[in-house]
């Protein structure tokens, strides 16, 4: 009896240890990981931003893959205007060249770029050019939204694709009508923005949220030791320059951007119906609901037959239609219970247990949302 009692005690102890391990494992699985980030990764500082530039130019030196001037009159007009500026009169000349292509040139002007700074530019064909390979972009002014010229672009175009064509076949890889010029832009005008002279600055959250804005303000005030930051709305935090920084806001921003803050995001489900992609946040919750999913497939097959008359008879050859209709209903679909306040992992496991694909899962999530059991926002792209 003593041996049996000892075995029973050891057996109960093992069960208790296993149960404790399961509880610990479950707590590890169900505890969400803290996605803390630096302020510089979740917010932008006022004035520290890029500006978009655009321009129209010509790419020359193409090996017969440029615009056909008859179909692209803007290319012919631009070519004539350029030659006239260089002292060549071509107004009464019938130009017939396929080595020139009209292009749109785009670039981003980095913040605080000084005169002489090099920037990358993108070149895209505007007419019916087949490829920009081997072409050179001529001097092209790049203007901003205010119409002022901020950079000049010129250089050899590098493309990431190619196009090969024969008499009866052609091969196109990538996009040969778009390319890039590394360091092809030269900054000519600087933006008039003095960051160091500011005494008040705003932080713009990339994902607006009231809780995140308040956490950023509290973190900054804790660093400074006085109320310096104030959340104005879910997307903006105002920052006043304290006296201890002697009027240098750059030093203040350097200290602030390294602070660690845990962003708080709303429960949201993002659905892309075109590709069947579903992305769910960790705070998505579902009340108790029952879900059933079944498929009804109707198949119609047409197999027409030809009816031939007997030999030496007065008849006609006719086509007799023959249709076969079959209905297949999934009898294995069952009603599944989704318990209340499940975690994201449990929700995904429960939906996968039904054996459904992404397309059907999109319909189920939308149906759960319509029933009021899904505490999350659904965004359909």
- pLDDT, greater one: 170 or 130: 130
Kindly state the average pLDDT of the residues 285-304.
62
CA–CA–CA angle 22, 23, 26 (5° rounding)? 80
pLDDT score of 269: 85
Q: How far is CA 107 from CA 140, 151, 235, in A?
A: 12, 9, 28
pLDDT score of 23: 34
- Place 322 in a pLDDT band, splitting at 50, 70 and 90: low
Nearest to 123 by CA among 73, 61, 50: 61
Task: Please say if the pLDDT value at position 348 is more than 70.
Answer: no
- For the question of whether the overall pTM of this predicted structure is more than 0.75, the answer is no
Task: Please say if the pLDDT value at position 143 is more than 80.
Answer: yes
- pLDDT, greater one: 245 or 345: 245
The percent of residues in the chain predicted with pLDDT above 70, rounded, is 72
Separation of first and last alpha carbons in the chain: 70
Kindly state the average pLDDT of the residues 150-165.
85
Kindly state the average pLDDT of the residues 80-105.
86
- Lowest-pLDDT range of 138-142, 259-263, 305-309, 320-324: 320-324
pLDDT score of 123: 96
Domain boundaries of the chain, sorted by first residue? 51-187, 201-261, 268-296+330-380
């Amino acid at each position: 009896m003593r041996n049996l009692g000892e075995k029973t005690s050891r057996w109960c102890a093992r069960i208790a240890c296993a149960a404790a391990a399961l509880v610990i494992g479950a707590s590890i699985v169900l505890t969400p990981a803290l996605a803390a980030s630096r302020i510089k990764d979740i917010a932008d500082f006022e004035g520290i931003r890029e500006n978009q530039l655009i321009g129209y130019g010509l790419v020359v030196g193409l090996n017969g893959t440029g615009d056909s001037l008859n179909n692209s009159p803007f290319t012919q007009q631009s070519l004539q205007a350029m030659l006239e500026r260089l002292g060549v009169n071509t107004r009464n000349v019938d130009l017939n060249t396929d080595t020139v292509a009209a292009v749109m040139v785009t670039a981003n002007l980095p913040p605080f770029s000084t005169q002489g700074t090099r920037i990358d530019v993108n070149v895209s064909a505007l007419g019916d050019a087949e490829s920009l390979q081997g072409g050179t972009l001529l001097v092209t002014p790049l203007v901003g939204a205010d119409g002022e010229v901020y950079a000049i672009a010129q250089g050899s175009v590098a493309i990431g694709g190619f196009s090969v064509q024969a008499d009866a076949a052609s091969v196109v890889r990538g996009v040969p009508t778009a390319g890039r010029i590394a360091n092809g832009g030269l900054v000519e005008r600087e933006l008039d923005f003095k960051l160091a002279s500011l005494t008040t600055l705003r932080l713009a959250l990339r994902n607006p949220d009231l809780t995140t804005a308040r956490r950023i303000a509290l973190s900054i005030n804790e660093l400074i030791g006085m109320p310096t930051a104030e959340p104005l709305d879910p997307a903006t935090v105002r920052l006043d320059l304290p006296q201890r920084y002697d009027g240098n806001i750059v030093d203040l921003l350097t200290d602030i951007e390294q602070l660690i803050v845990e962003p708080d995001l709303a429960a949201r489900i993002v659905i892309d119906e075109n590709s069947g992609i579903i992305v769910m946040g960790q705070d998505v919750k579902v009340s108790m609901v029952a879900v059933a999913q079944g498929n009804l497939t109707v198949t119609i097959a047409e197999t027409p037959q030809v009816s031939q008359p007997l030999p030496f008879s007065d008849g006609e050859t006719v086509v007799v239609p023959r249709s076969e209709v079959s209905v297949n209903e999934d009898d294995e679909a069952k009603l599944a219970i989704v318990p209340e306040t499940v975690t994201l992992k449990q929700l995904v496991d429960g939906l996968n247990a039904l054996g459904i694909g992404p397309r059907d899962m999109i319909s189920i999530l939308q149906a759960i949302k319509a029933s009021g059991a899904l505490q999350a926002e659904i965004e359909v792209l």
